[in-house]
Structure 1
Amino acid sequence: MADVLGIKNRDTALLNFKRILPVVDSVPAMEKPNIVLVICESFSAYKSSMWGNPLNTTPYFNELCKQGAFFKNCFSPAYGTARGIWAIITGIPDVTEFKTASRNPNLVDQHTILNDLKDYEKFYFLGGSASWANIRGVLKDNIKGLHLYEQQDYSSPKIDVWGISDKNLFLESNKVLKKQEKPFFAIIQTADNHRPYTIPKEDRPHIKMRSFPKDTLDKYGFWTNEELNAYAYMDYTYKIFMEAAAKEKYFNNTIFVFVGDHGIRGIAGDMMPKVWTNQSLTLQHVPMLFYAPGKIQPQVIERKVSQVDIMPTIAGLINKPVINSTMGRNIFALPPSSDSDYISNHAFVLDFDRRLIGLVGGKYYYEYSLQTKGEGFYPLTHNNPLLPDEPTEKERSLFRQLTLGYYETARYLLFHNKKTSH
């Protein structure tokens, strides 16, 4: 794993994973840019316009992706919001099989790159309460000086169990951010693209509410019309936020990052190769966008990447040399990749319902059963059976080593990534 993670000064006695992250010369320098990281509830790739879903659920975000660095193959390591937030904040896949790492008192103490950004004010906004899955403990215990905003801190009304609407969450966040005079790192966690899929009455005239028969919904990956319309509402809230932010002075010196917290298991139909449906890659495949007009070149990036790469990549973009002690990479600093490159072109995934771990790498998906020790390879780019010599024995061995290496390294790091003194 040392080669994969770019660890040059290896400490085999202490198993120390610390290394200095490289910065990126190709991104025009910004003067201590602000960061706004939006963690998008249930933003599943195959249900979205960016992958050509004929129901065109996210037209605004699709256009936004054409103006930034859009990663077509980003994966959350595991399913679930708590696991997604954990991977993003710590850079470690949550490989705990029972409940989540955030709920384990022995694991709560974690180092995060966020604390190395000492010149930044840190904010976390969510529309409801942080009192679930011990997320409050993870955030407050590990992010020094964090300003945590919850439902009671806003003037907007509660609409359902998740608190205020996402539209109002974005507008309330913008009210706070526009007043800041120091550089800030703000995380906004959305919730409305989740049952009960509440769309406020005042916003419904702005949404093209649609209703399709069940066979149409099934064909294009949706369970209900309520879910479909929730996607349209999600897209609308992004539009409202970006239009509001564009009017503020902080906008031109801000990097906006959008990423799904996880995907949704379902039938991807003809929109994706069959492995997405049959092996449930729909669970982990999410959009990821880095957006900073005039600063980050518009591009579509096919490389396989992970939520654990987000914090190291942000640190690299703001030209901040930081200590990385976990598993993420600065993905803009990686060498060009191809489908035959598995060392830098991969993402580790888990499916705890089926007790599987796997690797999405190059042109193959590899999965390994923690229960039976069985394994399988599947093509990522077509639906034809693999030939007898696909992949080669060398490739099979590499996939096996990488997958088990990621799993065991994550298990180790969950207990050995204690934060340093503030």
Structure 2
Amino acid sequence: FATLKYRKEGFDAQKVKQLMPYMAYWLGLDSNQVQQSGSIYRKEKAIDSLAVSKPNVVIVICESFSAYKSSAFGNALQTTPFFDSLSNHGLLFTKCFTPAYGTARGVWATLTGVPDVQLNKTASRNPAAVSQHTIINDFKGYQKYYFLGGSTSWANIRGVLTNNIDSLHLYEEGDYKSKRIDVWGISDKNLFLEANGVLAKEQQPFVAIIQTADNHRPYTIPEEDKPFIHFRNVSSDSLQRWGFESMEELNAFLYTDYCYRKFIEAAQKETYFKNTIFMFIGDHGIKGNANATMPAAFTTQGLTNMHVPWLVYAPGRVAPQKFDRLVSQVDVLPTAASLAGVAYNNTTLGRNVLAANYNNPAAFYFDVETKRIGVQYDSLLYTKNITNKGNKQVIITNVKSNAPVQVSTAQTQHLNQLTDAYYELARYLILNNKKR
């Protein structure tokens, strides 16, 4: 029955064939070669000067980490003072967008480099998409870890992880000493501390993913942690102005920042710290009022749903910088592997955004609620309805001014073709990005 639900989640082979050379050009590949091979596969070479020390990689997937709610992006409620300090000493991508909304879709995009554009539930639940190549497996000689405070039974995430990551050490509810605090399992603080304890004992290089959960209803904050968090009283007007619906949500954001601090402080005491690349990336954003910190289009066009912080923190290895070009969640693993000097097989749509030849920056969006797809390119946001029902078919907006714009026929065709290329290739890759 599960397979029947996904029968319509196929792909148009003719469109894929037509659009693959265009996507190849966009990714900086040889269009003729791609057309002949029918694949956007590329093998990225190791960078010996970086790989010699076999740096560890820790990727923190941050629950509901909306950029506009963070003080690193100008929120006056000072919601993330510790994350702000990390950002000042790290590489902060200020224009990072997830391809879609939702934790399962965010985890999928991070692991596979493929936007989850499935209309019927999520790609992780699709039996036909169970086999996926992930760049994590290209970290040869590395131990692989995944830490989640609760159960991985939701959205078949356990299946995605265990089927596709070789020799994975999976830690979930039932594997920790800490007690469960709510439906999401142990607290994020204890998740970080227990993960740190495991990683501190590891004698081999490792790549680890830690997935947080507490910045989510019911916004549970353990009693043991409350004395260490600087709660504050904020008027309802101020909450609304700075993008929060309630004090509970604000306090959960403050708690999230506290948990980041406890993790980094604990890691700094361990020998692995100096040879580790830390990354923090939001799984998705949250729609809301971002007018105090972002252009109006972020609120009116729903970009708050997808705009997330992405931070690379590796003192002595990655210089502090604000990176203001468009990047995507699908770029995380190619960039992480490149920073670690690892040779990797790239089969999907992510790129090493720090490469000297990183050109044509763009971000693709898929909104499952409104059934719209689109791209942000330069200052333009192009979206269109994929069902031909309901709201306006094509909308082109200037992100900075929030005004509809008229562009040339050639520019419109370019934006439409780029949108279609991302969408059709994503549909194809979900079913054809087989584990290598």
TM-score band w.r.t. shorter chain: over 0.9
Q: Following the alignment from structure 2 to structure 1, what is the Cα–Cα distance between the partners of residues 339 and 393? A: 40
User: How large is the Cα RMSD of the aligned pairs?
Assistant: 1.6
> Which residue is 1:237 aligned to?
259
Q: Following the alignment from structure 2 to structure 1, what is the Cα–Cα distance between the partners of residues 414 and 274? A: 44
SS, match of residue 198 in structure 2: helix
How many Å apart are 1:21 and its aligned residue? 2.4
Whether the aligned pair in 2 keeps the contact of 1:28 and 1:296 (CA below 8 Å) is no
> Which residue is 2:246 aligned to?
224
Which deviations, in whole Å up to 9, do the C-alpha atoms of 1:104-134 show, x marking residues without a partner?
1110111111111121100000101001000
> AA paired with 1:226?
E
> Which residue is 2:412 aligned to?
396
Q: Following the alignment from structure 1 to structure 2, what is the Cα–Cα distance between the partners of residues 114 and 18? A: 16
In the alignment of these two chains, the number of paired residues is 410
Matched, 1:19 2:35: no
> AA paired with 1:142?
N
Which deviations, in whole Å up to 9, do the C-alpha atoms of 1:346-388 show, x marking residues without a partner?
11011110011111111111111112371111122234x3565
Matched, 1:330 2:352: yes
Q: Following the alignment from structure 2 to structure 1, what is the Cα–Cα distance between the partners of residues 217 and 405? A: 42
> Which residue is 1:121 aligned to?
143
> Which residue is 1:64 aligned to?
86
Matched, 1:349 2:365: yes
> Which residue is 1:158 aligned to?
180
Q: Following the alignment from structure 2 to structure 1, what is the Cα–Cα distance between the partners of residues 270 and 395? A: 51
Q: Following the alignment from structure 1 to structure 2, what is the Cα–Cα distance between the partners of residues 13 and 98? A: 33
> Which residue is 1:143 aligned to?
165
Which structure 1 residue ranges, 5 or more long, are not aligned? 337-342
Q: 1:23 to 1:400 in 2, by over 3 A?
A: farther
SS, match of residue 60 in structure 2: strand
How many Å apart are 1:224 and its aligned residue? 0.8
Q: Following the alignment from structure 1 to structure 2, what is the Cα–Cα distance between the partners of residues 262 and 82? A: 10
Moved more, 348-357 or 16-25: 16-25
How many Å apart are 1:400 and its aligned residue? 1.1
Alignment of 1:285-364 (within 5 A): 285-335=307-357, 344-364=360-380
> Which residue is 1:195 aligned to?
217
Which deviations, in whole Å up to 9, do the C-alpha atoms of 1:16-73 show, x marking residues without a partner?
1211225669x96661000000000000011111111111101110110111111001
Q: Following the alignment from structure 1 to structure 2, what is the Cα–Cα distance between the partners of residues 37 and 208? A: 26
SS, match of residue 38 in structure 1: strand
TM-score normalized by the length of structure 1: 0.94
> AA paired with 1:316?
S
Alignment of 1:12-91 (within 5 A): 12=35, 15-21=38-44, 31-91=53-113
Q: Following the alignment from structure 2 to structure 1, what is the Cα–Cα distance between the partners of residues 247 and 34? A: 54
SS, match of residue 397 in structure 1: helix
Q: 1:23 to 1:302 in 2, by over 3 A?
A: farther
> Which residue is 1:173 aligned to?
195
Whether the aligned pair in 1 keeps the contact of 2:24 and 2:34 (CA below 8 Å) is no
Whether the aligned pair in 2 keeps the contact of 1:351 and 1:357 (CA below 8 Å) is yes
SS, match of residue 277 in structure 2: strand
> AA paired with 2:167?
G
> AA paired with 2:375?
L
> AA paired with 1:127?
G
> Which residue is 2:274 aligned to?
252
Q: 1:30 to 1:72 in 2, by over 3 A?
A: farther
SS, match of residue 201 in structure 2: coil
Q: Percent identity?
A: 53
Q: Following the alignment from structure 1 to structure 2, what is the Cα–Cα distance between the partners of residues 192 and 161? A: 10
- 1:183 counterpart (195, 198, 205): 205
Q: Following the alignment from structure 1 to structure 2, what is the Cα–Cα distance between the partners of residues 263 and 30? A: 36
> Which residue is 1:340 aligned to?
none
Whether the aligned pair in 2 keeps the contact of 1:22 and 1:330 (CA below 8 Å) is no
> Which residue is 2:29 aligned to?
7
SS, match of residue 324 in structure 2: strand
> Which residue is 1:339 aligned to?
none
TM-score normalized by the length of structure 2: 0.91
> Which residue is 1:377 aligned to?
396
Q: 1:257 to 1:333 in 2, by over 3 A?
A: same
